[in-house]
Amino acid sequence: MAKELQKWVVMVTAQTPTNIAVIKYWGKRDETLILPINDSISVTLDPDHLCTTTTVSVSPSFEQDRMWLNGKEISLLGGRFQSCLREIRSRACDLEDEKKGIKIKKMDWEKLRLHIASYNNFPTAAGLASSAAGLACFVFALAKLMNLNEDNGQLSAIARRGSGSACRSLYGGFVKWIMGKEENGSDSIAFQLADEKHWDDLVIVIAVVSARQKETSSTTGMQDSCKTSMLIQHRAKEVVPKRIIQMEDAIEKRDFPSFARLACADSNQFHAVCLDTSPPIFYMNDTSHKIISCVEKWNRSVGTPQVAYTFDAGPNAVLIARDRKIAALLLRRLLFHFPPTFQHCLNSYVIGDKSILQDVGVQDMKDIESLPPPPEIKDNIPAQKSNGDVSYFICTRPGRGPVLLPDSGALLNPETGLPK
C-alpha cells in the first residue's frame, strides 16, 4: 500500500450501560480468568443517565495502542485491558469497506494499533460501576470494529476478563451471570433473563453518598473475603443458589415484594461478608444506614415492600421503587431526610429523569424545606435532617443493552484518530 493510502482511520462508537447487581457477585474462584464463586443477577440501568461511550479506531498510521478516559490519556498496559484485547484480536475477522477501499485481513489485526477514547456520562469516582460499563463498552466496540462473529453472550465472557461485573452490561433489562463449571471459564457468561420492557414500572433512584474514607477496591476486597471470611463459602454454596432461583422467578412474575426482599437481603449479606473479612471492610457508612432505616421503616409501615435497596462496594444507595408513584413518594422522603445544602441548586441535586420531581411537587429549595415528615415517622421521634450527607440523586430506570452510535457521536477525530 502506498503511504498516502494508509491515512484512513476506521472507527466504531458504542454506548454501554452500567448495571446494579440484585444478587451480588463477591468472590472469585479464579483470579486470572475472573470466575466467580456464585451466580449473580443484575438490572441494567438506563444508559440515558448512566453509560459509557467508547470510540475504538484503527489506522495503519497509529504507532501504538493508546487510550483516553474522559479526555485524559491512560495506560492500556493493565492486565485487564490486555486480557480483553488479546481475546478480541485472536477472534478478529476480515474487514472490508468497499466504499473507502479499505481491506483489513484477519491476520493484520495483530499488527494494527488502536486508538480508543472512552467517556462516562457520570462521575467515575462516584462508585457507580464505571468499570463494568467501561470494560463492556471496550469489548463491545472492539468486537464490532474487528468484525467478530461472537454473540453478546460470548462477548460477555471476554468482558468478564476485564471486570467481572462488566459481563452483565452486555445486555439490557435483567441479566444473569452464570458462574459456570469449566476450568477455562468458557461457560461463565451472562445472558438476558428479560429485557427492559418486561418490567418497565420500576423506577430507580440512586443516592450518591459522600464517601469520607478511601474504600477498599472490590478486587482486593473480594480476595480478602475469600481468604479470611468464615461465612463467604456458606453464602456462595448454600444461600445464593436458592436466592438465584427465587430472584429469577420474582423477575419473571414481576413479583415486587419477593424481588425487594431478595435484593435487600442479598445486599445486606454481601456487606455482612465484607464485615466478616479480616481486616473488616466497611463499604456502607452512617448515611447508607440511615437510607436503609428510612426504607425499612416505610416498607414495614405499609406492610409490603414499596422500595428495594442495594449497595455495591461503596456507600451509594441504589433504590428501586415498584412504580413511578412510589418513586415520587420515595424521593419526597429522601429530600426530607437529606435536603440539599445551601450550595446546591435543586437542578444539580436531582439529576437524570427530573420529571419525577414534578410528581413530588417540588420545584425549588423552599418546597423541600416545607416537606412534611413522612407519616411512618412517629411524632415522638424528632426527624433527623442530614444536610450534605448525599451529594446528589440520580433518577433512572431499567434500560437497554449496548448499542452502536453513528460516527457523529464518535469521541475521536475521523481524520487524526485523536480525541476530538
Stretch that binds a copy of itself, among 6-14, 191-199, 261-269, 396-404 (CB under 8 A): 261-269
Q: How far is residue 416's CA from residue 420's CA, in Å, rounded to a whole number?
A: 9
Per-residue DSSP letters for 23-65? E----EEETTTTEESS-EEEEEBPTTTSEEEEEEEEETT--S-
Contact letters for a copy of itself, residues 268-287 (x by CB under 8 A): xx-xxx-xxxxxx-x--xx-
Give CA angle at 338 (25, 341), nearest 5°.
120
Burial class (CB in 10 A: 0-12, 13-18, 19+), 270: buried
Nearer to a copy of itself, 22 or 264 (CB): 264
Residue pointed to by grid coordinates 421503587: 321
Among 378, 215, 377, 386, CA closest to 286: 386
Which residues sit opposite 15 in a β-bridge? 53, 403
Stretch that binds a copy of itself, among 16-24, 158-166, 201-209, 233-241 (CB under 8 A): 233-241
167 is in an annotated binding site: yes
Nearer to a copy of itself, 86 or 234 (CB): 234
Nearer to a copy of itself, 83 or 216 (CB): 216
Stretch that binds a copy of itself, among 162-170, 184-192, 288-296, 350-358 (CB under 8 A): 288-296
Q: What share of the chain is helix, strand, coil (3-state, %, to 5)?
A: 40, 25, 40
Contact letters for a copy of itself, residues 291-310 (x by CB under 8 A): -xx--x---x----------
Among 352, 312, 399, 280, CA closest to 20: 312
**Length of the chain in terms of residues written:** 420
Contact letters for a copy of itself, residues 196-225 (x by CB under 8 A): ----------------xxx-----------
Residue 50 φ then ψ, to 5°: -140, 110
361 is in an annotated binding site: no
Nearer to a copy of itself, 292 or 331 (CB): 292
Could you tell me if 79 and 214 are in contact, meaning their C-beta atoms sit under 8 angstroms apart?
no
163 is in an annotated binding site: yes
Stretch that binds a copy of itself, among 88-96, 97-105, 118-126, 289-297 (CB under 8 A): 289-297
Give contact residues for a copy of itself (rule: CB under 8 A): 212-214, 228, 230-231, 234-235, 238-239, 261, 264-265, 268-269, 271-273, 275-280, 282, 285-286, 289-290, 292-293, 296, 300, 381, 384
Cite the annotated binding site for (R)-5-diphosphomevalonate by residue number: 25-28, 80, 163-168, 219
